[in-house]
Amino acid sequence: MKAVFISVLFCTLLVAIPSLLFNFGDWVLIALQTGVAAFLGLLIGIEIERETYRYPHLWQGIAGLMAGALFGFCLTPSLVFVVCGGLLGGVLGMTAHWWVKFAPLP
């Protein structure tokens, strides 16, 4: 759990501070950028401590589902966007062990 917390914190701060400096006032954009960074940090942290979790695919899928639903709600607060975002996030979370090592961080 320690690596997950550090990974989420590091990725979030790595994106949130420049976003606040360059996009100050556009709060939806800042929230989306910071949320994406936190989601990537969570997936990276679970991937680092993969042997700690009994079902890492499930945890990554749940994290993706929640992040996708949140992003869909931030874009447009309608049921269609929340469900589509949740499904897309869940698929990204379940397949994270294949693509997370190629995710570029700033």
What whole-number distance in Å separates Cα of residue 70 and Cα of residue 42?
15
Per-residue pLDDT, averaged over 42-67, amounts to 86
Structure tokens at 83: 């469900």
pLDDT score for 40: 82
- How many domains is the chain built from? 1
104, pLDDT greater than 80: no
What whole-number distance in Å separates Cα of residue 98 and Cα of residue 24?
34
Q: Please name the residue ranges forming H helices in 1-106.
A: 2-22, 27-48, 56-75, 79-94, 96-99
Domain that holds residue 82: 2-102
Q: Cβ neighbours of residue 44 under 8 Å, at least 6 residues apart?
A: 7, 11, 100, 103
The pTM (predicted TM-score) of the whole model is 0.73
pLDDT band at 33 (very low <50, low <70, confident <90, very high): confident
106, pLDDT greater than 60: no
Distance from the Cα of residue 41 to its chain's centroid: 7
pLDDT band at 50 (very low <50, low <70, confident <90, very high): confident
86, pLDDT greater than 90: yes
